[in-house]
């Protein structure tokens, strides 16, 4: 196991609601990245946090926002949920000091928007 | 054109067979390459980082061809437990994001 944890595992929301997903990184990793994976697709990069600052963002609207805390855990917030936000949300932790800066994924949160 | 392209499969092979997956990437500034494995409804798990000179890990061999911008994964002596989706992943330069292909599904049968 990677040591990356996410909560909750499943979530059902309705359109227009807001959701917060949580991630704890692997011990020794100071960087957390968030991805959205729709059914049948590869994960799509949402953003990355390094030392509590956003460090890169993918093609997602501002209603997707995040935080990183001093212990390197992270939250992903999504406002004004839309049906298309239904997906598996993955967080990955990494350490830029590793040779290839590999990212290790948590088990994900499966979000269903009705 | 997609940034990372893979044949979606499925590849159906008998146990013991050798199977190869190819992946092409469009950005010549890509610097890091990986293969991840993803089981149904689970998270991606890092299978191998792909080194410039190619690398092997047991039954798995990864190759990189920068001139042609493709990456390959060879699985020898396939096991039933190898059945999964294999994701080709690249990073452009030192960028924060990983770019994933849509994955190639492998089904190993008796």
Structure tokens at A48: 């990355």
pLDDT band, very low/low/confident/very high, at A96 (cuts 50, 70, 90): confident
Nearest residue of A to residue B50 by CA position? A100
CA angle (A38, B93, B58) in 5-degree steps: 70
- Chain B residues touching residue A110 (CB < 8 angstroms): 41
- Position A100 scores a pLDDT of 78
- Beta pairing partners, A31: A50, A94
Q: Given an 8 Å threshold on Cβ–Cβ distance, is A42 in contact with B34?
A: no
Whether residue B43 lies within 8 A of chain A, CB to CB, comes out as yes
Q: How far is A79 from chain B (nearest CA, A)?
A: 23
Contact by Cβ (8 Å): B15, B9: no
Which pairing describes strands B11-14 and B104-109: parallel, antiparallel, or unpaired? parallel
pLDDT of residue A105: 96
| Nearest-Cα residue of chain A relative to residue B39 | A107
Place of tokens 């959701």: A19
pLDDT at A59: 95
Going by C-alpha positions, the residue among B46, B39, B42 that lies closest to residue B88 is B46
Euclidean distance between CA atoms B56 and B76, whole angstroms: 11
Looking at the DSSP bridge assignments, the partners of residue B35 are B48, B88
Residue A33 has pLDDT above 80, yes or no: yes
Q: Are A110 and A9 in contact (CB under 8 A)?
A: yes
A–B interface: beta-carbon pairs under 8 A: 56
**Partner residue opposite B96 with nearest CB, options A41, A48, A106:** A48
To 5 degrees, how large is the angle CA A81–CA A84–CA A86? 75
Query: Rounded distance, CA B16 to CA B18, Å?
Result: 7
pLDDT-above-90 percentage for chain A: 85
Select from A88, A103, A110 the Cβ nearest to the Cβ of B98: A103
Structure tokens belonging to residue A50: 């390094």
Give the residue-averaged pLDDT of A28-36.
94
Measure the CA angle with vertex A31, ends A25 and A34; round to 5°: 75
Digit-coded pLDDT (tens) for B50-72 = 988 889 999 999 999 999 999 99
Q: How remote is the C-alpha of B79 from its chain's centroid? A: 17
To the nearest whole number, what is the mean pLDDT of chain A?
A: 94
Position A28 scores a pLDDT of 86
Per-residue pLDDT for B24 more than 80?
A: yes
* Closest CA of chain A from B74, distance in Å: 20
Answer for the pair B71, B62: CB distance below 8 angstroms, yes or no. Answer: yes
B42 contact A CB<8A: yes
Contacts of B86 in chain A (CB under 8 A): none
């Amino acid at each position: 196991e990677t040591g990356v944890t996410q909560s909750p595992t499943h979530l059902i929301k309705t359109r227009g609601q807001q959701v917060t997903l949580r991630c704890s990184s692997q011990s020794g990793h100071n960087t957390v990245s968030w991805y959205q994976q729709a059914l049948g697709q590869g994960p799509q990069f949402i953003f990355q946090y390094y030392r509590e600052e956003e460090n890169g963002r993918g093609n997602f609207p501002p209603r997707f926002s995040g935080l990183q805390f001093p212990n390197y855990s992270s939250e992903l917030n999504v406002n004004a949920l839309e049906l298309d936000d239904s997906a598996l949300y993955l967080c990955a932790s990494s350490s830029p000091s590793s040779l290839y800066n590999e990212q290790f994924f948590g088990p994900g949160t499966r979000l269903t928007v009705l | 054109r997609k940034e990372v392209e893979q044949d979606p499969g499925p590849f159906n092979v008998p146990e013991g067979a050798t199977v190869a997956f190819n992946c092409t990437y469009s950005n010549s500034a890509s610097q890091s390459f990986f293969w991840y494995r993803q089981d149904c409804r689970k998270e991606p798990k890092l299978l191998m980082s792909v080194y410039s000179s190619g690398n092997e890990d047991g039954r798995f061999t990864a190759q990189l061809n920068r001139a042609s911008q493709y990456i390959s994964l060879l699985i020898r002596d396939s096991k039933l437990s190898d059945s999964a989706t294999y994701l080709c992943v690249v990073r452009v330069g030192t960028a924060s994001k990983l770019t994933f292909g849509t994955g190639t599904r492998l089904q190993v049968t008796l």
